[in-house]
Amino acid sequence: MTDKSQSLKARYEALTTDRQSFLDRARQCSELTLPTLVPPEGHNGSTVYPTPWQSVGARGVNALASKLLTSLFPPNHPFFRLQLDDVAIMKIAGDLAAKAMIEAGLSKYERAVQSEIETNGFRSPIFAAIKHLIVAGNAVLDIPADGAPRVFSIDSYVCLRDGSGNLLDLVIKECLSEDSVPDDIRAMLDEEPGDDEENEPAGQREEVDVYTRYYRDDGVYKEYQEVCGKRVDGSDATYPLDKPGKLVLRWTADPGSDYGRSYVEEYLGDLQSLDSLMQAIVEAANSMAKVIWLVNPNGVTRAKDLSEAENGAFVSGVLNEVICLQAEKQADLRIPADTASKLTTALESAFMLGSSIQRKGERVTAEEIRFMANELESTLGGVFSTLACEFQLPLVRRVIARMNKAKSLPPLPKGIKAPVIITGLDALGRSAELQKLQTMLQILQPFGETVMSRIKIGNLLSRVATAVMIDDEGLFMTDDEIQQQQAAAQQQQQAAMQQQQMGDLAGKAAPAAIKAISEHMANQAPQAGASPDAPPAQ
């Protein structure tokens, strides 16, 4: 693939020619959105970056990046799922207990991987990579053996791909300060002094160029580093093809090209037009805001008296001899202002900003806003499919391999499929399924209980939970639990009825008992005129 005698510096410089047109385009897109994302050539700590005349580009990129981050990597929710293959499913067919136990174990496995991503600072580099993809169309996400990933912009690397878009070669150039490089690299620098080291004190070189090559060879990815044309000891590494250590990402795959195209590039003309119009409008507004008074030089009103007069003072003069200078360009500025407003609305709609979704009107229903938002999100279906294959799936495989190497995660048993991505494009399908369910229920509701009673509530609840991506394990009662609850309610009702019946019987028996006791007491009472000491009558 490459002459082994060629240094990585020469390899990098040889491949920059093919990258140049993509880099120039990325810098144009960055100037109109986020100028510091892809800095200009020769930038340093004192570089003055351009300032756009409009903020639609920056707001659009940040809003779209936030939406993609939430959609592709939702917080506290796994963006992938582990499933059994067909053979394993057939073996446990009918064994509900075994299936439930396996699914519970896979769910814990998924949460462990998700926790690794959340606690090791993956989210911030992923967000930065998504912004690079939107603006520049290309980015590299380096996932080390431990710790948080790093993001490299298109101006920091060159790459080669085959006809199918698979990565063949990648060379990254890092400009590091000498104090920040490891000791072994610093020792190599001391052995190879720079051209002007005689004029510099020892250890005062400002930057060191470190080149990293990541290439495909013998069915694996290999990696090593060079400094000053020498290979760094201990920098060699090997990665499986399906668990890459570096993700070379693209927004859209340009057929036959080593690099991708960005989302901002598709609307670059609108951004440039809006920026020019806003510059003209702002400069004209500044000029028109300037207040200049004209005084007739042949009149009796003196300009000095007016300029020196305090508020409320009296000055001798004639009103018609003083006039305020006006540009009278309101009609001319209305055309660029209307055009800028139309461009702003179009760009806000393209970047899915909330203000573009709601139409102008007093009565806008929530269903209308929801429908338009879903229509806009569905336009990114092709992007979701590319990011799922080149971003999400390699990322989760790399994280699982990293955790297995650190022995913080047990290896997956046989019979488990590769991770399946359940966000992004799949989330759009689930959202459409939820809308269909809601529409069906609204259509069936007027038919009353006769039709609604034919719906299996358990299956409906399960489908709704799946559509909104909620784990319904333990959330809804099973049929057995419902039967047990109904049986317990019936027993309680029967017990209450028995108690009520006993109470009614006791209430009916009470008057008869009281009457019998009263008659008995009356019979036992002494007769009138009889002596209390006399014996009872025989």
Burial of 291 (0-12, 13-18, 19+ CB in 10 A): exposed
pLDDT at residue 404 greater than cutoff 80: yes
CB-based contacts of 35: which residues, under 8 Å, 6+ apart? 49, 50, 51, 52
CA–CA separation, 469 vs 79, rounded Å? 10
pLDDT at residue 372 greater than cutoff 70: no
- Condensed to tens digits (0 to 9), the pLDDT of residues 151-210 reads 999 999 999 999 888 999 999 999 887 776 776 677 776 666 554 444 455 444 567 889
Q: What is the pTM of this model?
A: 0.75
Strands (E), 394-457: 420-421
Closest alpha carbon to 248 in 138, 156, 397, 346? 138
pLDDT at residue 528 greater than cutoff 50: no
SS3 content of the chain, % helix, strand, coil (to 5): 55, 15, 35
Say which amino acid occupies 364: V
- Condensed to tens digits (0 to 9), the pLDDT of residues 405-451 reads 888 887 777 767 778 777 755 555 556 667 777 788 888 888 888 77
| Letter string b/e over residues 415-435, b meaning 16 or more CB atoms within 10 A of that residue's CB | ebeebebbbbbbbbebbeebe
Q: Which of 26-30, 139-143, 271-275, 444-448 has the lowest mean pLDDT?
A: 444-448
- Condensed to tens digits (0 to 9), the pLDDT of residues 93-139 reads 666 667 667 777 788 888 889 888 988 889 999 999 999 999 999 99
- Condensed to tens digits (0 to 9), the pLDDT of residues 58-106 reads 999 999 898 888 878 888 778 888 877 766 666 666 666 676 677 777 8
Question: What percent of the chain stands above pLDDT 90?
Answer: 35
CB 457 within 8 A of CB 472: no
The pLDDT of 275-302, averaged and rounded, is 91
- The per-residue pLDDT for 203 is 45
- The per-residue pLDDT for 508 is 65
Closest alpha carbon to 370 in 421, 450, 423, 439? 439
pLDDT, the chain, mean: 81
Give 225's strand partners. 212
Highest mean pLDDT: which of 16-25, 288-297, 410-419, 457-466? 16-25
CA–CA separation, 528 vs 7, rounded Å? 139
- The per-residue pLDDT for 506 is 67
Closest alpha carbon to 92 in 106, 81, 78, 112? 106
Using left for φ > 0, alpha for ψ between -120 and 50, and beta otherwise, residue 76 falls in left
- The per-residue pLDDT for 93 is 65
Q: Euclidean distance between the first and final Cα of the chain, in Å?
A: 137
CA–CA separation, 423 vs 400, rounded Å? 18
CA angle (511, 514, 518) in 5-degree steps: 140
- The per-residue pLDDT for 339 is 95
Strands (E), 80-180: 80-81, 138-142, 150-152, 157-161, 167-176
pLDDT at residue 214 greater than cutoff 60: yes
CA angle (256, 257, 262) in 5-degree steps: 125
CA–CA separation, 345 vs 56, rounded Å? 9
pLDDT at residue 466 greater than cutoff 50: yes
DSSP state of 391: I
Burial of 150 (0-12, 13-18, 19+ CB in 10 A): middle
CB 221 within 8 A of CB 229: no
- The per-residue pLDDT for 202 is 47
422 or 526: which carries more pLDDT confidence?
A: 422
Lookup: tokens for 494 = 């029967």
- Condensed to tens digits (0 to 9), the pLDDT of residues 317-364 reads 998 899 998 888 888 889 999 999 999 999 998 888 865 555 555 555
CB 415 within 8 A of CB 98: no
pLDDT at residue 470 greater than cutoff 70: no
Say which amino acid occupies 208: V
- Neighbour tally for 409: CB within 10 Å: 17
Lookup: tokens for 315 = 């000055």
- The per-residue pLDDT for 280 is 93
- The per-residue pLDDT for 197 is 47
CA angle (302, 308, 310) in 5-degree steps: 120
Identify the band that residue 474 occupies on the pLDDT scale cut at 50, 70 and 90: low
Interhelix angle for 457-467 vs 425-444, to 10°? 140
**Domain ranges for the chain:** 8-39+66-165+236-262+380-442, 267-377, 477-520
CB 404 within 8 A of CB 411: yes
- The per-residue pLDDT for 538 is 44
Q: Which of 343-352, 436-445, 466-475, 491-500 has the lowest mean pLDDT?
A: 466-475
